[in-house]
Structures are given as structure tokens and as C-alpha cells.
A = this chain, B = another copy of it.
């Protein structure tokens, strides 16, 4: 279904200042998208996103990400119900002065996004032979996070939006999708053409949170 990975060129590309400026712009404009147009994705572009995901780094080259393209209406309805249950609980945990804002934030593009991709991790892959994860086994899930992020950036470069839905019971999602018992959900992605573009996160625009200065996040030792 998906295109194989193209063999890269034999000599390293020359990434010039113009490319770096555009890459910085890509980082700045890559949003967590919640409002999608329902237009179907171009199949070649969709395949390019999956190929990009598989270019991500992984601990011990273990490639532990497992991608589930969710297309069946019944499965999507089950995911929606799982989200609604978790969202109600999360809303109840917010103090009253924030709950109103929380309720207004459209937290999922589950209804409109033409593509749903559930990303799982295989926690004990044979691939990689365990290298690099003896003391920090969480790096295996981190590898799946890196695949999601690579896909996300490849999407943004194509004018395609990705929304990462984390307000979900991960075990319920695994059950609804009937994946192998040992797989663990890392992220559930809505993918489609965004209804709007902005260099400012939706949560910042909505007054939920502000960007922190680097000085507050950096120390020296």
C-alpha cells in the first residue's frame, strides 16, 4: 500500500541558510491541529507521511512503532466514545474557573479529520536486540514518539495538519482496535488539511497557557 523508502543520495546534502530558515519556520508553524477540513488526503502524500515516520531514530535501531490506520466507522465510533468518557472525567478535574475554558477548547478533530492513525509501541521487539534500553526501558516508547514527530513535521511541510489526542484510555483504545495484547498506545493522531494556520499554539491563543522563556528552562552545571 505504501511506497517503499527511497534510497538517499550517496553524498550528504548541503543544507544552506535558506533551508534552515524554512526549517525554523516549519517548527514555528507546526501546530497541534484540532479543526480539520473533511477533504480526503492525497494518497501519495499520505504514503509519504508513513515513510517519513519510519525514518525516525529508534533505540538500538529497534523500529518499535506499530501503525494502525483506523478506517472502519464502527472503530472510529468506539474511539470517539472512549474520548468522550475520558474528556468528561478530565473536565471534572479542572477547577471551576478553568472548566469553562476547557469545555470550549475543541480537543479532538475526531469527527472531521479524514485519517486516523493510532501509533503503538511493541515494548519487547526482537529488533535491536535490547541495545540501549537496559537502564532506560522507556526509550522504546520514546522511539515511537520520535516516529510520530517525524510524521508530524513531514505533514506540516505538505500543508497537512496532525492533532495528537491523548485524552483517551489507552487500554480501551487497544481493545477497540484489536491489536496484539502486548502493544501499548503511544498516540492517537487525527490527520487532515487544517481549517486554519497560525504560528501561535491554540492553547496560547485561547489564554490557556503562555510560552515560557528559555532562561526559565535552562541551567548550567
Q: Which residues of A contact B (CB under 8 A)?
A: 1-2, 4-6, 8-10, 12-13, 15, 19-20, 22-30, 32, 48, 50-52, 54-57, 59-63, 65-72, 75, 86, 89-90, 93-94, 98, 102, 107, 127-136, 138-139, 141-142, 145-146, 149-150, 152-154, 156-159, 164, 166-170, 177-179, 185-187, 197, 199, 201, 203-204, 208-209, 211-215, 217-221
Question: Contact: B221 with A69, CB < 8 Å?
Answer: yes
Copy number in the complex reads 2
Known contacts A15-B26, A134-B89; is-contact A218 B1 (Cβ 8 Å):
yes
Q: In the assembly, what is the distance between CA of A167 and CA of B219, in Å?
A: 23
Sorted from nearest, which 4 A-B pairs have the closest CB atoms?
Answer: A8-B199, A8-B28, A27-B55, A61-B203
